[in-house]
């Protein structure tokens, strides 16, 4: 690491030019090839996937995404001549739009027989179904927007027209640029307060923005080779911006301490990279490992998100260890404020922070580890209580921003036709004989009287059709727990009873069932994933610190942090305590894939803070072999920077709430609460308390295991130590 830092410092113009060329090259490639984000995910072995496959094979032209155009009149009826004429002309225009396979509305002689009930009982609301020639994730945004524009062009003061469906929701999502900008501004304020220097503030921001640029472009190009969801870039930006600023912050802080201790700019840069730079590499590798751990889920959707996140983190590491030392060379002593430079000239070098409020707090923790640990654990366990009621699912359009067309279409349909109308179930059957067709007709007739089913109708098919389709409307909304219970009851009781004595096979599908299956699959795989992440984090920390207790403590702390942050998310979104005030609808399930991604991120980010904290303690332990002094000095010298880094991350993550997307907001709230708890309770109170209680056992590793494991050190073994400075530090850390 020292050699790389030395080279980047000496050849700083070449390094900066290389990064400019990389950024320009990726921008050019992205302009030429574009992106291929896809929200498609396969769930092999599930009924919803089998139902979709049957529909795609039997009706390839109708197997695309189905969306709705809803219109509502403030007075009169949707069947009035003027309304009919205007809407029919609009639907004809929509039918001509690119990627539209067909439009079926309530008007015309065959409408009643072919489309079912498309006009509300009060006659003031109606809808038409727009069938695209592909699933939502495969459609061009411009084609979806063309449908929206043509439909909304027919609006009048008395005729409201809104659109809903997966494709419409996808096209209506707002970009996250504002969230990123707000996060950067908030980080700038915290950095300026922490450093008191504009140049020191600018360095972490500049490196993070460069990493964000090259990382975002890389993820877009990777989408051609890996199935990356449309939420991937936003999630990657959320991760990359947070860790990018933090990694640069740790290195710049170590560099500033070196300058204050009297080192030259070059010597301090190399030392900072050889110490904090190593920790950044280790921490970043841990985050990447945790994110790529999602591959064990064997779901393309999560694999793509893991690859996107790991790519962003990899770029942040690369900028931190190459671009940052080059920029430090350009700035020289200006990374210190004028007051700090003046003080250095007048008073001479000063040792690394070994006095002040953080030292006082560290000594207080050393004196009272047990009561402080109990308070910290009580806070974490209290926040974890809502996690016991965690319900995974997929939020429906009722949680879209109130101003969005998809939310307004949802509300119109729910008011006119009932809450379950927005998420009908499709029962798709394989019919092999007349007896099967008779049994299927009997099933359709009996569904209407099934509890929690508001209505059911068998779609008209040919007498020899190999498949049958029943459209069943739940009495509850798509995201409601009652709808999930209905799906389970249909599959375990109602459908098997209808199949008995026949060769008929019926599969419960439709978008609502697909998301329900997705939640079930992820819930089943979550314990395996959690075990893999815990073991990987344990092994990495054991290799780094040659200890059993340090990684074991970190693993338990990470689980506590995850449970507490999930508790905050459940209270905020599932219980609806915060989602409604933010304009994201009322109470609803937590997004099914959120626990997997959050666990990966939390274990990675928590391990970051553990590495930065414990590596500094380990340095002191190696020099003094005094556990209390090692823990006190490690906490005193890293506490300020860890809490500053945590504060930055909290603001960055919370800024993503401004995007108005419920899924991203869940990540923002969850990660912000996790980092807040991690930086201000776990690493500031609980971990130091436990390390004081464990004593020298923190650093114990059986001899046979030590000999068998490869040696991987976060700190360089030959790091020079100033004996006079160490004496002052150790004396300052003494317990009064």
Query: Which residues lie below 8 Å from residue 206, measured CB to CB, with a gap of 6+?
Result: 327
Instruction: Give the strands of the sheet with 66-73, arranged side by side.
Output: 100-104, 125-132, 66-73, 159-164
* Mean pLDDT rounded to a whole number for the chain: 83
Give residue-wise pLDDT tens across range 616-635.
888 788 888 899 999 998 89
pLDDT of residue 722: 44
Q: Is the pLDDT of residue 446 over 80?
A: yes
pLDDT of residue 503: 92
Instruction: Tell me which of 60-74, 139-153, 675-689 is least confident.
Output: 60-74
- Pairwise CA distance, residues 49 & 57, whole Å: 12
Which of 200 and 162 is assigned the larger pLDDT?
162
* 3-state DSSP assignment of residue 673: helix
Which of 655 and 427 is assigned the larger pLDDT?
427
Assign 734 a pLDDT band (cuts: 50, 70, 90): very low
What integer is the mean pLDDT of 153-182? 80
Assign 383 a pLDDT band (cuts: 50, 70, 90): very high
pLDDT of residue 326: 93
- Pairwise CA distance, residues 241 & 223, whole Å: 20
Which of 582 and 34 is assigned the larger pLDDT?
34
C-alpha of 104 from chain center: 37
What integer is the mean pLDDT of 562-568? 93
Strand partners, 88: none
Q: ∠213-201-339 over CA atoms, to 5°?
A: 160
- Pairwise CA distance, residues 177 & 698, whole Å: 45
Strand partners, 425: 472
Q: Is the pLDDT of residue 370 over 90?
A: yes
Biggest alpha carbon distance in the chain? 99
The model carries a pTM of 0.79
Give residue-wise pLDDT tens across range 696-712.
999 998 888 888 877 76
DSSP 156: B
Other C-beta atoms closer than 10 Å to the C-beta of 110 total 8
Alpha-carbon distances of 475 from 69, 450, 454, rounded to whole Å = 22, 10, 5
What integer is the mean pLDDT of 555-566? 89
Give residue-wise pLDDT tens across range 246-281.
888 888 888 888 888 888 999 989 988 888 888 788
Give residue-wise pLDDT tens across range 210-235.
998 999 899 889 888 888 877 778 77
Assign 63 a pLDDT band (cuts: 50, 70, 90): low
Q: Which residue has the tokens 């927007």?
A: 145
Other C-beta atoms closer than 10 Å to the C-beta of 528 total 11
- Pairwise CA distance, residues 302 & 229, whole Å: 9
pLDDT of residue 257: 84
Q: Is the pLDDT of residue 116 over 90?
A: no
Which of 370 and 727 is assigned the larger pLDDT?
370
pLDDT of residue 53: 83
Q: Is the pLDDT of residue 647 over 50?
A: yes
* Residue of 604, 631, 638 whose CA lies nearest to 617: 631
- Pairwise CA distance, residues 154 & 28, whole Å: 40
Instruction: Tell me which of 17-31, 174-188, 322-336, 543-557 is least confident.
Output: 174-188
> Which tokens belong to 502?
């026949």
pLDDT of residue 111: 54
Secondary structure in 3-state letters for 208-271: HHHHHHHHHHHHHHHCCCCCCCCCHHHHHHHHHHHHHHHHHHHHHHHHHHHHHCCCCHHHHHHH
**CB-based burial, 58-94: b 16+ in 10 Å, e otherwise:** beeebbbbbbbbbbbbeeeebeeeebbebbeebbebb
Q: Is the pLDDT of residue 480 over 90?
A: no
Assign 530 a pLDDT band (cuts: 50, 70, 90): confident
Give residue-wise pLDDT tens across range 280-301.
888 788 888 878 878 877 787 7
pLDDT of residue 401: 75
DSSP 578: T
* Residue of 599, 633, 628 whose CA lies nearest to 616: 633
Assign 115 a pLDDT band (cuts: 50, 70, 90): very low
Q: Is the pLDDT of residue 472 over 80?
A: yes
* N-to-C CA span, the chain: 39
Q: What share of the chain is helix, strand, coil (3-state, %, to 5)?
A: 70, 10, 25
Percent of the chain predicted with pLDDT > 90:
26
Assign 731 a pLDDT band (cuts: 50, 70, 90): very low
* Backbone angles phi and psi of 37, in degrees to 5: -65, 145
pLDDT of residue 421: 86
Q: Which residue has the tokens 């030959």?
A: 718
Secondary structure in 3-state letters for 353-377: CCCCHHHHHHHHHHHCHHHHHHHHH
pLDDT of residue 726: 39
List, as one string, the DSSP characters of 49-116.
Answer: HHHHHHHHHH-GGG-S-EEEEEEEESSS-TTSHHHHHHHHHHHHHHHTSTTEEEEE-S-STTHHHHH-
Most confident of 155-164, 551-560, 725-734: 155-164
- Pairwise CA distance, residues 244 & 213, whole Å: 12
Give residue-wise pLDDT tens across range 489-505.
999 999 999 999 899 99
């Amino acid at each position: 690491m020292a050699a790389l830092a030395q080279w980047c410092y000496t050849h700083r113009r070449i390094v900066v030019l290389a990064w400019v060329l990389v950024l320009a090259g990726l921008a050019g490639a992205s302009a030429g090839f574009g992106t291929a984000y896809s929200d498609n995910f396969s769930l092999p072995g599930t009924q919803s996937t089998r139902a979709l496959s049957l529909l795609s094979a039997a009706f390839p032209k109708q197997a695309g995404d189905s969306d709705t155009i809803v219109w509502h009149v403030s007075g009169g009826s949707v069947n009035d001549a003027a309304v009919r004429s205007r809407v029919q002309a609009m639907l004809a225009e929509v039918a001509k739009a690119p990627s539209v396979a067909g439009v079926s509305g309530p008007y015309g002689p065959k409408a009643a027989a072919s489309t079912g009930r498309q006009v509300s009982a009060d006659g003031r609301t109606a809808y038409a179904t727009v069938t695209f020639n592909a699933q939502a994730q495969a459609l061009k945004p411009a084609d979806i927007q063309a449908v929206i524009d043509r439909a909304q062009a027919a609006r009048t003061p008395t005729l409201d027209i809104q659109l809903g469906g997966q494709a419409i929701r996808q096209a209506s999502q707002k970009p996250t640029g504002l969230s990123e900008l707000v996060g950067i501004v908030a980080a700038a304020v915290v950095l300026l307060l922490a450093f008191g220097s504009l140049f020191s503030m600018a360095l972490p921001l500049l490196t993070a923005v460069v990493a964000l640029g090259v990382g975002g472009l890389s993820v877009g190009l990777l989408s051609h080779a890996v199935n990356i969801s449309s939420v991937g870039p936003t999630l990657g930006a959320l991760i990359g911006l947070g860790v990018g600023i933090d990694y640069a912050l740790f290195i710049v802080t170590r560099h500033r301490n070196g300058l204050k201790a009297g080192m030259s700019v070059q010597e301090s840069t190399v030392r900072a990279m050889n110490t904090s730079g190593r920790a950044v590499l280790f921490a970043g590798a841990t985050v990447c490992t945790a994110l790529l751990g999602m591959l064990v889920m064997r779901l393309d959707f999560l694999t793509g998100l893991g690859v996107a996140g790991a790519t962003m983190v990899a770029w942040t590491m690369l900028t931190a260890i190459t671009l940052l030392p080059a920029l430090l060379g350009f700035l020289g002593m200006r990374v210190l404020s004028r007051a700090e430079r003046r003080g250095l000239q007048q008073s001479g070098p000063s040792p690394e922070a070994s006095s002040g409020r953080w030292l006082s707090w560290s000594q207080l923790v050393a004196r009272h580890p047990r009561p402080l640990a109990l308070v910290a654990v009580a806070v974490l366990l209290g926040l974890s209580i809502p996690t016991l009621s965690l319900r995974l699912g997929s939020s429906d359009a009722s949680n879209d921003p109130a101003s969005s067309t998809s939310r307004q279409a949802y509300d119109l349909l729910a008011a006119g036709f009932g809450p379950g109308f927005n998420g009908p179930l499709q029962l798709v059957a394989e019919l092999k004989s007349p007896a099967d067709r008779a049994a299927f007709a009997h099933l359709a007739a009996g569904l209407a009287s099934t509890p929690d089913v508001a209505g059911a109708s068998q779609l008209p098919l040919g007498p020899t059709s190999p498949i049958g389709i029943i459209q069943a409307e739940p009495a509850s909304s798509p995201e409601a727990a009652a709808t999930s219970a209905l799906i389970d009851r249909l599959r375990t009781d109602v459908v098997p009873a209808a199949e008995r004595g026949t060769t008929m096979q019926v599969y419960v599908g439709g978008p609502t069932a697909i998301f329900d299956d997705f939640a079930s699959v992820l819930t089943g795989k979550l314990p395996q994933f959690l075990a893999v992440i815990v073991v990987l984090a344990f092994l990495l920390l054991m290799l780094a610190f040659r200890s059993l207790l340090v990684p074991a403590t970190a693993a338990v702390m990470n689980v506590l942090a995850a449970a507490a942050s999930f508790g905050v998310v459940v209270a905020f979104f599932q219980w609806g305590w915060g989602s409604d005030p933010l304009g994201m609808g009322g109470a609803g399930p937590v997004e099914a894939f959120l626990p997997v991604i959050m666990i990966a991120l939390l274990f990675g980010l928590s391990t970051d803070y553990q590495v930065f904290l414990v590596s500094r303690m380990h340095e002191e332990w190696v020099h003094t072999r005094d556990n209390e002094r090692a823990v006190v000095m490690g906490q005193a010298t890293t506490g300020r920077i860890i809490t500053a880094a945590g504060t930055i991350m909290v603001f960055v993550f919370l800024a993503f709430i401004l995007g108005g997307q419920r899924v991203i907001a869940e990540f923002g709230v969850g990660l912000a609460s996790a980092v807040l708890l991690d930086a201000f309770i776990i690493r500031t109170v609980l971990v130091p308390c436990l390390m004081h209680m464990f004593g020298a056992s923190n650093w114990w590793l059986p001899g046979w295991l030590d000999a068998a494991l490869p040696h991987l050190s976060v700190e360089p073994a030959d790091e020079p130590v100033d004996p006079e400075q160490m004496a002052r530090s150790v004396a300052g850390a003494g317990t009064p």
